[in-house]
Amino acid sequence: MAVYKRTYAAYEGSLTPTWSRFLILPRYSFARLWQSKFLVMFFMACFFYPLGCVGYIYLANNLSVLSSFGIPVGNFIKVEPSLFLYFCWVQAAFTYLLTAFVGPSLVSPDLVNGAMPLYLCRPFSRAEYIAGKMSVLVFLLSLVTWVPGLILFAIQGSLAGWEWTKANYWIAGSLFVGLMVWIVMLSLLALALSAWIKWKIAAGGLVLGVFFAGAGFGTALNNVMRTQYGTLLNLTEVMFTVWSKLFRWPSDTGISVEASWICIGVVCAICLWLLIRRVRPFEVVK
């Protein structure tokens, strides 16, 4: 119907499948996020290290290039699992900053402006809302973590040959699992904190602060109580323990892998619980 008619008419067309509706939220969120020049520039900066790794992998597999420039080629330049572990470590730092910038703008504006009843009065559940908002972060962070990680693995595999790929296929799994766990934990943390701290800047600061405060408090606890369990409050160390295990690298964090997995599970569960308590169609006033 043309707009000039300006009369109300009921809608009688077809409807989209229910399962696909949570994807509407990321579409609108991305349209808004990419309007920020800072985000676009930072997002591009996140690919500098992977590009450096590509160069490193190329050189490691083409030592003759270095020799032709008269550079002595020793045994120091070779691709090991530790390269991918360091890749995780560096890209995790970028995602940490990216989350602090993007995460708070996803949920807190809806809560500040009372938009929750508008979402939830439709055939759209709280779980779909959370999944929709979380998928923004999961997709964005995946693009700078395990996706380039797997591309690096594929490049190395193609250059080093089938034997290397067959012997090291577990690295691909470790990259995907290790970075997805990090992304999920980071996303839940950002959404939960921004749901409770409605001021975007404060929520972003808190996302950053949780890691620093946790590390500081954990170290203090270790020193006072003469234990190692305080390290469990340091989420960076916890994650590094898990990654070290996944990449078959010795870990010196002092906590067991099992305790680290449990710690990550508990953090995710708490964040989910906090989110569910806040994402409601109306505020509960006691």
Partner 1 sequence: MDPVIELAGLSVRFGNREILHNLRVALSGRTIGLLGPNGAGKSTLIQTLLGFVPLSAGSANIFGHDIRQQTRELRALIGYMPENDSFIANLTAVSFVRMMGELAGLPRDAALERAHEVLFYVGLGEARYRLLGTYSLGMKQLAKLAQAIVHGPRLLILDEPTNGLDPSARLRMIRLIKEMKQTGSMHIVVCSHLLRDVEETCEEVLILKQGRVVHYSNLEEERRANKRFVELETVGEEKDFAGALAALGCECVGVGLGRLKMVLPADFELREIYRLAAERDLQLRRLNYRRDTLEDIFLKAMEN
Binding site for partner 1 (CB under 8 A): 1, 3-16, 18, 21, 24, 28, 32, 109-110, 112-115, 117-125, 280-282
35 vs 68 by CB, closer to partner 1: 35
10 vs 224 by CB, closer to partner 1: 10
27 vs 248 by CB, closer to partner 1: 27
Residue 72, phi-psi category: left (phi > 0), alpha (psi -120 to 50), beta (remainder): beta
- Residue 54: CB atoms within 10 A of its CB come to 16
Give min distance, CB of 10 to partner 1, in A.
4
82 vs 113 by CB, closer to partner 1: 113
CA angle 186, 188, 191 (to 5 degrees): 105
Give min distance, CB of 16 to partner 1, in A.
5
CA angle 258, 262, 267 (to 5 degrees): 150
Give min distance, CB of 208 to partner 1, in A.
23
End-to-end C-alpha distance for the chain, whole angstroms: 48
121 vs 224 by CB, closer to partner 1: 121
What DSSP character marks residue 283?
P
Give min distance, CB of 43 to partner 1, in A.
19
Residue 136 contacts residue 225 (beta carbons within 8 Å): no
d(CA 33, CA 106): 10
- Residue 179: CB atoms within 10 A of its CB come to 26
Give min distance, CB of 180 to partner 1, in A.
27
127 vs 154 by CB, closer to partner 1: 127
Residues composing the chain: 286
Residue 78 contacts residue 56 (beta carbons within 8 Å): no
Give min distance, CB of 191 to partner 1, in A.
17
